[in-house]
Structure 1
C-alpha cells in the first residue's frame, strides 16, 4: 500500500510539474503550438473528405443536407480573415474553444460509424478518425491553458449540443451520406478554428494585418 501511495504521489507531482511548465511558457510559443495542432486537425479532416469522395455515390450529393444544417451553424463567426481581424483576441479564443468543444460528441459518432463504414478505405478512414480525436483532445487541452492566460472572456464557451442522428442507418447510401455530412461540417469548423488561432498567433507576434 505504501508503494502505491508513493507511486500515486509521484504521478501527481509529475502532472503538477507539467501544468506549471505549460503555464510558464510564453503565450507566443503556446499559440505557435496550438496553431500547428489546429493545422494538423484541418489537414486531416480535409484528407478524410477527399478519401471519402473517391467512392461517394452521385445520389449522395443530391440528398446530403446543406452546410446550414451543421449543428454549429447557430454560432455567429467571422466569415473570412478580414472579419476575424476585427474581432477581439478573447472573442476569437472563445469561438475556437466553442467550436472544438462542440465536436466532442460528434467525433464519437464518427468513430462508431467508421468502424462499419461501407467504403474500400474503411480501415484507413477509421484510423484517421482516431487521430482526429487525439488531435482534438490535445488541442483542447492547449486552448484551456491559453484561455486561462487570456482572462474570463476567453474562457467563455457557447453551448452547441449535437442533436443529430447517432445511428447512420442500415443501407449503404444512408451510412455514407451521414458520415460525409458530419465530416464536411467538421472540415468547415476545423478551418475556422485554424484561421482564428492563426490570427491570434499573428497578433501575439505583433505582425501587420496584411502579413497574417
Structure 2
C-alpha cells in the first residue's frame, strides 16, 4: 500500500528521518550511509573514508590544543616531566605498523579503536566541563576541547556502525580502560590541576593519533591497496 504525503504515518516517518539527519550533523556522527539528493547511498569503503577523514581532523585539533596549552601554561619543562603520569589507556595496545598489523583482522583493529574511543568519552566530558576553572584559560583552548569531544563522539558512533555492517550485528564489549583523574582536575591546587590537564591533553593527542593510524590500516586492508 502506498502512503499519501498527507497520511499521518508518512508525516511521522518524515519527521523521524529528519531527526536522524540532524542528529548525525550535530554530533559529527559517521552515518550508515551517505545522503545524496534525498536518497541513501553507502558502502564500507565510503564509511571508512569518512571515519579516516574525521580522525585526521581530530588528530590535528588535538595537536593544536596540546601546543597551545603547553605554550600558555608550561613554566618549567623539567617540572612537567617530573610530574608526567602514565596514560589511563596505556594497557590498551594497538598493533604497530609493520608485518604484525598486516596479519591482524580488520574487525580486531576496529574493536580496539572502539575501546580506545570509549575510554576517552568520560575524560573528554570532564575536560570540557572543568577547563574553565584554570586561570586565564584562552577561549581558543576551550573551543578546541569542545570540538574534539563532539567529533570524538561522532567518530565512535561511526566506528560502531562500521563494525555492525561488517558483522551483521555486534554485541559491544564494555571492557575498556577506566579513568580516575577527576579528583586531580578538581583539586584546590592550581599546580595539581595544571599537571592533570597537561597529562590528559598529551595522552589524548597520542591516542587519537593511534586511532587515525589504525583506521588508515583498516581502510588499506579492506580496499586491498598494495602499499599498506
Q: TM-score range by the shorter chain?
A: 0.7 to 0.9
- Higher alpha-carbon Rg: 2
Partner of 2:84: 65
Deviation (angstroms), 1:197: 0.2
Residues 164 and 170, structure 2, Cα contact 8 Å, conserved in 1: no
Task: Output the TM-score relative to the length of structure 2.
Answer: 0.78
Deviation (angstroms), 1:154: 9.0
Deviation (angstroms), 1:7: 6.6
Task: Output the TM-score relative to the length of structure 1.
Answer: 0.83
Listed as ranges, the matches of 1:49-88 within 5 Å are 49-55=66-72, 56-58=74-76, 60-66=79-85, 69-78=86-95, 80-82=96-98, 83-88=100-105
For residue 196 of structure 2, the aligned residue among 175, 178, 185 is: 178
* Larger helix share, 1 or 2: 1
For residue 14 of structure 2, the aligned residue among 7, 10, 16 is: 10
Structure 1: gaps spanning 5 or more residues: none
Equivalent-residue separation in structure 2 for 1:39 and 1:99 (angstroms):
16
Partner of 1:162: 179
Bigger shift: 187-196 or 147-156? 147-156
The 1:20/1:133 distance shift into structure 2, 3 A limit, reads closer
Partner of 1:46: 63
Kindly report the root-mean-square deviation, in angstroms, between the aligned alpha carbons of the 2 structures: 2.7
Relative contact order (alpha carbons < 8 A, sep ≥ 6): 1 or 2 greater? Answer: 1
Residues 33 and 47, structure 2, Cα contact 8 Å, conserved in 1: no
Correspondence 1:136 to 2:136 = no
Deviation (angstroms), 1:9: 4.7
Equivalent-residue separation in structure 1 for 2:148 and 2:204 (angstroms):
10
Over residues 5-40 of structure 1, what are the superposed CA-to-partner deviations in whole Å (9 max), with x where a residue is unaligned?
987553224457886645851100100000000111
Correspondence 1:199 to 2:206 = no
Aligned residues between the structures:
203
**Equivalent residue of 1:54, what SS?**
helix
Correspondence 1:98 to 2:102 = no
Over residues 43-73 of structure 1, what are the superposed CA-to-partner deviations in whole Å (9 max), with x where a residue is unaligned?
111111111111312154133233xx21111
